[in-house]
Amino acid sequence: MIRELNDRFTQALIKAFGAEIIPSEPLVVAASNPRFGDYQCNVSLSLTKVLGENPRAIALQIIEQLQITDICLPPEIAGPGFINLTLQPDYISDKLLNIYQDQEHLGIELAQPRERIIVDFSSPNIAKEMHVGHLRSTIIGDCIARILEFRGHQVLRLNHVGDWGTQFGMLIAYLREAYPEALVKKDALLLGDLVTFYKQAKLRFDQDEAFGEIARQEVVKLQSGNEESRRAWELLCEQSRREFQVIYDLLDITIVERGESFYNPYLAEIVAALDAKGLLTTDDGAKCVFLTGFTNKQGDPLPLIVQKSDGGYNYATTDLAAIKYRTEKDGAQKIIYVTDIGQSNHFAQVFQIAQRAGFLPPEVKVIHVPFGLVLGEDGKKVKTRSGDTIRLRDLLDEAIARARQDLITRLSQEERTETEAFITEVAQVIGISAVKYADLSQNRTSNYVFSYDKMLALQGNTAPYLLYAYVRVQGIIRKGNIDFQEIENNLQILLDSTAEQSLAKHILQFNDLIQEVEIELLPNRLSQYLFELSQKFNQFYDQCPILQATESLRISRLILAELTARTLKLGLSLLGISVLNRL
Ligand code: ARG
């Protein structure tokens, strides 16, 4: 929509003043206030300097050249020289019918060009519990991947799990003493136990020097490919992996595991390549690269250590190897990393070094998508690594249990009896959707307060509200009892009332919105859109009788309802939420 309008203005500007004056920013934006119409073009104001004329005069000349009568009512010049546009009802109807025919994509265009994109998300650490930060990454990353996939990009969803490093030395050394079975036998441990063992191992490591030495030797053994250590490591990873999978299944997440260990064979090359580029400095035995733009308190340039004095590599080294591999071997054109905001510096540094070392071709985009903390209702950070951690499993189970309780209460109020299977399914969908939606409806860069009561509320911008809205719209369509196939040749959308027009225009904006979300990578824009959609539908339903209307109006309004339902369903699915037909 916006692109079409932009094109028309571009043509007009070229005719009026020549191609040189076309600014790089978009000419047309959504109207800031519905009183001013649907869209506006403010370019006249920014052209006053270049053209040496007053903005109203410029606006007049633009309008004179503008060919837009098929889309808009006659444009209006307002204030100092804004050009306001209002869509023609006929144009809206035609567009909506096109969307209606486009069952699968609802008018959402495929990206041009379609790219190969990696989304690096979730990425918990083996032997440690997956925590709420990983939950955010999982939910946001999945949503971003879904939107990119829907736009036709080729998306590789990668789970960069922390499955390598010193923690394994500690853990193996500790288990050898405390529970040797776990190192040779499958299924000897649950992740819960593994986490406890990990904590105990860490404690020993910090307190007992002799143990520390044994642990370090274990790391060396593992890294040098010792068979027995390798087997123990695999068992531990397997253990964690199985627990993570339970969460992914609950959340309906697909992701390919390619952990840090995968890049292990490439780490030496990375350091050598940095050296060959003349980027490497050895400082106290540690190999590092000095960053530009990052300084310590004294104002001296900050080093990024890529190999420690004991020969071990760092988190950043692995990320450098991953960038190289992903661009060279996977052919990625864009790499998106979804982690908490605390890792912003890490990524800025890694991106800079990758670029300077030539691992990152200039045409490949790397984007860190940061998010804020999940806070408890007391406003304090929900504890993660140390202290009392909320287990993710427990958190999701609790959401489902509460959704179930709410449902049972409602069923008894409505004097309904439903099967156990129905209750289980609905509770599961509502509970999981509520958790996802609570996260996705916040601007990801801010912290958000995790509250079961809020996320499960039937009113407000919540998953239950939208799921009910969907069921309600479907109910209305069912009552309308029309055969959409039969009216296929006689489709018509009539937009007489304001509420109808407002709903129709909103549906029309879906395509633009999705493309904006793709650029900004802000899922909350999509949830806000869906929330407004259901509100606009309610106003429409309040003000426009559907079932009692005359035949042609009734059909038209049922098509609007049908489009609302489809948009809700598709939009929610892009958030990773599946609708229910009955609640
Ligand atoms: N495992 C890391 C953590 O738990 C997140 C990894 C993110 N991805 C990456 N390529 N660094 O904090």
pLDDT grade for 388, boundaries at 50, 70 and 90: low
Report the CATH number that the domain containing residue 316 is assigned in CATH.
Answer: 3.40.50.620
Please check whether residues 437 and 550 belong to one and the same domain: yes
pLDDT grade for 34, boundaries at 50, 70 and 90: confident
Is 80 exceeded by the pLDDT of residue 383?
no
Please check whether residues 204 and 286 belong to one and the same domain: no
Please check whether residues 96 and 198 belong to one and the same domain: no
Please check whether residues 463 and 573 belong to one and the same domain: yes
Looking at every residue in the chain, the average pLDDT score rounds to: 93
Residue 208 is encoded by which pair of tokens?
């007992």
Residue 187's pLDDT is 77
Distance CA 331, CA 117 (A): 9
Closest ligand 1 atom, residue 343 Cα: 12
CA of 340 from ligand 1 middle (Å) equals 9
pLDDT grade for 385, boundaries at 50, 70 and 90: very low
- Residue 293, classified by CB atoms within 10 Å of its CB into exposed (0-12), middle (13-18) or buried (19+), is exposed
Asked whether residue 199 is domain-assigned, the answer is yes
Beta bridge partners of 370: 339
Q: What is the pLDDT of residues 541-555, one digit of tens each?
A: 999 999 999 999 999
Strands 28-30 and 39-41 turn out to be antiparallel
CA of 123 from ligand 1 middle (Å) equals 5
Residue 312's pLDDT is 86
Closest ligand 1 atom, residue 347 Cα: 11
> Is residue 316 within 8 Å of residue 349, measured between CB atoms?
yes
Please check whether residues 521 and 482 belong to one and the same domain: yes
Distance CA 33, CA 180 (A): 69
Q: What is the CA radius of gyration of the chain?
A: 29
Report the CATH number that the domain containing residue 404 is assigned in CATH.
Answer: 1.10.730.10
What secondary structure does DSSP assign to 115-142, as a single string?
-EEEEE----BTTS---HHHHHHHHHHH
Asked whether residue 277 is domain-assigned, the answer is yes
Angle at which helix 2-17 crosses helix 43-51, to 10 degrees, equals 20
> Is residue 368 within 8 Å of residue 343, measured between CB atoms?
yes
pLDDT grade for 335, boundaries at 50, 70 and 90: very high
Residue 189's pLDDT is 76
Is 80 exceeded by the pLDDT of residue 397?
yes
Phi, psi of 451 (to 5 degrees): -135, 115
User: Whose Cα sits closest to atom 3 in ligand 1?
Assistant: 124
Closest ligand 1 atom, residue 346 Cα: 11
Residue 372 is encoded by which pair of tokens?
């804020």
Query: How many other C-beta atoms lie within 10 A of the C-beta of residue 127?
Result: 23
CA of 518 from ligand 1 middle (Å) equals 22
Please check whether residues 209 and 124 belong to one and the same domain: no
CA of 149 from ligand 1 middle (Å) equals 22
Please check whether residues 497 and 581 belong to one and the same domain: yes
Is 90 exceeded by the pLDDT of residue 130?
no
User: Whose Cα sits closest to atom 5 in ligand 1?
Assistant: 123
Please check whether residues 103 and 132 belong to one and the same domain: no
What's the predicted TM-score (pTM) here? 0.94
Select from 344, 374, 404 the last residue of a domain.
374
Is 90 exceeded by the pLDDT of residue 57?
yes
Residue 136 is encoded by which pair of tokens?
């955010």
- Structural domains counted in the chain: 4
Residue 384's pLDDT is 42
Report the CATH number that the domain containing residue 81 is assigned in CATH.
Answer: 3.30.1360.70
CA of 368 from ligand 1 middle (Å) equals 11
CA of 144 from ligand 1 middle (Å) equals 17
Distance CA 446, CA 371 (A): 7
Residue 204's pLDDT is 92
Residue 102's pLDDT is 95
Asked whether residue 252 is domain-assigned, the answer is no
- Contacts of residue 9, defined as CB under 8 A and 6 or more positions apart, other chains included, come to 27, 28, 41, 43, 62, 66
Q: What is the pLDDT of residues 470-521, one digit of tens each?
A: 999 999 999 998 888 888 877 889 998 999 999 999 999 999 999 999 999 9
User: Whose Cα sits closest to atom 6 in ligand 1?
Assistant: 123
Residue 274's pLDDT is 98
Please check whether residues 195 and 332 belong to one and the same domain: no
Among 160, 164, 318, 373, which is best to mutate for testing ligand 1, by the most ligand atoms less than 8 A from CB?
A: 160
Q: How far is CA 297 from the centre of its chain?
A: 35
Please check whether residues 484 and 550 belong to one and the same domain: yes
CA of 315 from ligand 1 middle (Å) equals 8
Asked whether residue 385 is domain-assigned, the answer is no
Among 136, 159, 343, which is best to mutate for testing ligand 1, by the most ligand atoms less than 8 A from CB?
A: 343
Asked whether residue 379 is domain-assigned, the answer is no
Looking at the chain, the whole-number percentage of residues with pLDDT higher than 90 is 77
**What is the SS3 assignment for 356?**
helix
Distance CA 229, CA 226 (A): 5
> Is residue 165 within 8 Å of residue 263, measured between CB atoms?
no
Closest ligand 1 atom, residue 322 Cα: 10
Q: How far is CA 158 from the centre of its chain?
A: 14
User: Within 6 Å (CB) of ligand 1, which residues are found?
Assistant: 120, 123-125, 160, 162, 319, 322, 337, 339
pLDDT grade for 191, boundaries at 50, 70 and 90: low
Asked whether residue 241 is domain-assigned, the answer is no
Residue 396's pLDDT is 95
Residue 493's pLDDT is 93
Asked whether residue 574 is domain-assigned, the answer is yes
Phi, psi of 7 (to 5 degrees): -60, -45
Residue 150's pLDDT is 98
Please check whether residues 443 and 541 belong to one and the same domain: yes
Phi, psi of 87 (to 5 degrees): -70, 145
Q: What is the pLDDT of residues 415-463, one digit of tens each?
A: 999 999 999 999 999 999 999 999 999 999 999 999 999 999 999 999 9
User: Whose Cα sits closest to atom 8 in ligand 1?
Assistant: 160
User: Whose Cα sits closest to atom 9 in ligand 1?
Assistant: 160
Asked whether residue 529 is domain-assigned, the answer is yes
Q: What is the pLDDT of residues 229-283, one digit of tens each?
A: 898 899 889 988 988 999 999 999 999 999 999 999 999 999 999 999 999 999 8
User: Whose Cα sits closest to atom 11 in ligand 1?
Assistant: 319
Is 90 exceeded by the pLDDT of residue 58?
yes
Is 50 exceeded by the pLDDT of residue 66?
yes
Beta bridge partners of 336: 119, 367
Domain extent, residue 76, equals 2-87
Please check whether residues 194 and 273 belong to one and the same domain: no
